Amino acid sequence: MAGGGFVSNSAPLRHYEGGMTVFVLVSCIVAATGGLIFGYDIGISGGVTSMAPFLKKFFPSVFRKAATAKGNDYCKFDSQILTAFTSSLYIAGLVSALSASSVTRAFGRKVSMVTGGLSFLIGSALNGAAVNVAMLIIGRIMLGFGVGFANQAVPIYLSEMAPPKWRGGLNTGFQLFIGIGVLTANLINYGTAKIDGWGWRLSLGLAAVPAVIMTLGSLTLPDTPNSLIERGQLDKAKAMLQRIRGTPNVEAELEDLVEASATSKMVDQPFRNILKRQYRPQFVMALLIPFFQQLTGINVIAFYAPVLFKTIGFKSDAALMSAVILGVVNLVSIVISIFFVDKYGRRFLFLQGGIQMVICQIIISAILGVKLGTSGNGGLPKGYADFMVVAICLYAAGFGWSWGPLSWLVPSEIFPLEIRSAGQSINVAVNLITTFIFSQVFLSMLCHFKYGIFLFYAGWVVIMTLFVYFFVPETKNVGMEEMTRVWAEHWFWRRWAPPHQPKTADINIDVEMVNGKHHDQKQGTPQQTFQ
Ligand code: BGC
């Protein structure tokens, strides 16, 4: 690499020579279990709310409606209080994600993760032991606080611990653990549905297992060097960096961490920064990508897959089994995404996945419309029901390698340093708000739109696919420091983006992220992108 002057003091290769160490790998796996808990929560509630003893105990009117199966089958699970049970987690998660940011900053990522784990534990105990709806919902709020803290702290933790060239893979581990959590929950529901009377208690109470894993795991985790520096513990930070990079040669990186921390402290109001005209493209992405992700309809499938399968005539067992199949498909598709995302690019996966989802949604809607009509009564003939499961699986696979992981990946790579934290907060907040709204209204929508609900989501997937085609630039293999280029060269966004300053051949580029810190070093001149 080009050396010289300034650069030789902080040579990138020396900087990042530390590779993946067992210590980092284990730390990141433990931290990523935050995703496991999020996924467990997503997966467990749908199954539990289709269990007769659970409905009978807490939502007797829903139970009676479902049991007599009079009236419209699309409407038999329609109950605001039932959806409130599912949705309360998201509201609590939203509030706590916002407050967790200051805890994470002042006390470290580890403290936030332990707090999240403990909150999960309390929530799972309350849910497992619930004797009335209030206990159920309070328990769910505690779980939501846990999710908020975990989702706020874990991705930051992973980012800070990971060696730069493994950062993408280790972060994707978070989404993978979400998928594992969903699948585990579905498997547990499949088993506990067979236990008469109290199976639901086991399903809800077993959330304690990932909660304990996370709490104990987090207690054993080291804090990130970035966080240690942020809290003034420079010696500890240096020792930690040496340990996680597997090399004593960490001086330059340490300097950069100190510098990044100092610089980031100069910005009080990143939320105001992101509103500046020059960040319009990124701001729009921060709003629309998570919003669109939820409008794929994925969570209505995840939350209510068993209810949905039951509505179309599956027996209780078959409903849970179908959800298990969906979970496996989801997991496999995330793994496929890990291998393909840097090869074929984000746009290809977005567009391919979008088209696949639209086709599947139209097929699902057509089968339901033709075979069940608007009453939803009667169940599907076997052949059609099987075809339906295949279409739903292909839909889930399309999501699993496109909007699932990409909705976390793309926003995380497009924000320049000065607006990165604000951008990520907006991304998470929009994700949770949209999840909340749609889980709250889904059962009513199913009741009113009937099979047309899938056309509603298909319409949105068409819109978002066109949005990607026209407005989302390819970010594959673009260094984060070079990302301004993709906006400056984009046919639409270039009117907002500041002109990209091309780097000349003799410029040494070292683009690495350390705690959101960019190093973009010209010969002899440190370039700080911070304004
Ligand atoms: C989404 C969640 C969703 C999950 C499904 C995540 O990327 O943000 O809302 O439930 O994927 O696996």
Q: Is 299 in the pocket of ligand 1 (CB under 6 A)?
A: yes
Looking at this protein, which amino acid is placed at residue 268?
Answer: D
Q: How far is CA 397 from the centre of its chain?
A: 16
Confidence at 374, pLDDT banded by 50, 70, 90: low
β-pairing, 517-518 with 513-514?
antiparallel
The rounded distance, in Å, linking the Cα atoms of 357 and 292 is 13
Q: Which of 389, 398, 327, 323 is nearest to 357 (CA)?
A: 398
Nearest CA to ligand 1 atom 12: 179
Q: Which residues contact 342 (CB under 8 A, 6 or more apart)?
A: 168, 476, 477
Amino acid at 166: W
Residue 434 Cβ < 6 Å to ligand 1? no
301 lines ligand 1 (CB under 6 A): no
Closest protein CA for atom 9 of ligand 1? 299
- Would you say the C-alpha torsion 481, 221, 169, 420 has a positive or negative sign? negative
Residue 313 banded pLDDT, cuts 50, 70, 90: low
Distance 436 CA to ligand 1 centre (A): 12
Residues 284-312 pLDDT 10s: 998 999 899 999 998 776 655 665 666 65
Calpha distance 508→510 (Å, rounded): 6
Q: Nearest C-alpha to atom 2 of ligand 1 is from which residue?
A: 299
What type of residue sits at position 461? V
Phi, psi of 312 (to 5 degrees): -90, 15
CB 47 within 8 A of CB 320: yes
Range of lowest pLDDT (57-61, 71-75, 175-179, 202-206): 71-75
Is the shortest distance between the CB of 148 and ligand 1 below 6 Å?
no
Count Cβ atoms below 10 Å from residue 500 Cβ, excluding itself.
Answer: 15
Instruction: Determine which of 25-39, 78-92, 447-461 has the lowest per-residue pLDDT on average.
Output: 78-92
Query: Which tens digit of pLDDT belongs to each residue from 18-57?
Result: 677 899 888 988 888 888 888 898 888 777 887 889 988 9
Q: Is 431 near ligand 1, meaning CB less than 6 Å away?
A: yes
> Whole-angstrom Cα distance, residue 209 to residue 194?
20
Task: Please give the pLDDT value at position 283.
Answer: 94
142 lines ligand 1 (CB under 6 A): no
Average pLDDT, the chain: 78
- Vertex 173: Cα angle to 361 and 529 (nearest 5): 100
Q: Is the CB of 185 under 6 A from ligand 1?
A: no
DSSP string, 116-144: HHHHHHHHHHHHHT--SHHHHHHHHHHHH
Residues 6+ apart with CB under 8 A from 32: 154, 158, 170, 173, 174, 176, 177
Question: For the chain, which residues make up each domain, given as ranges?
Answer: 29-523
Mutate to test the pocket of ligand 1, among 42, 295, 412 (most ligand atoms within 8 A of CB): 42
What φ, ψ does residue 522 adopt, rounded to 5°? -85, 160
Token pair, residue 283, equals: 């701001």
Say how far apart CA 474 and CA 394 lie, in whole Å: 25
- The reported pLDDT for the residue numbered 528 is 31
**Cα 140 to ligand 1 centroid, rounded to whole Å:** 18
Distance CA 438, CA 119 (A): 25
CATH architecture assignment, domain 29-523: Up-down Bundle (1.20)
330 lines ligand 1 (CB under 6 A): yes
Distance 404 CA to ligand 1 centre (A): 6
**Dihedral angle sign, alpha carbons of residues 414, 108, 158, 99:** negative
Cα 213 to Cα 221: distance, rounded to the nearest angstrom? 12
Does the C-beta of 428 come closer than 6 Å to ligand 1? no
Which amino acid appears at position 422 of this protein?
Answer: A
From atom 7 of ligand 1, which residue's Cα is the shortest distance away?
A: 404
Q: Judging by DSSP bridges, how do beta strands 520-522 and 525-527 pair with one another?
A: antiparallel
Q: How far is the CA of 484 from the centre of ligand 1 (A)?
A: 28
Across residues 400-428, what is the average pLDDT?
77
Q: Would the CB of 89 count as within 6 Å of ligand 1?
A: no
Give the whole-number percent of the chain exceeding pLDDT 70.
Answer: 77
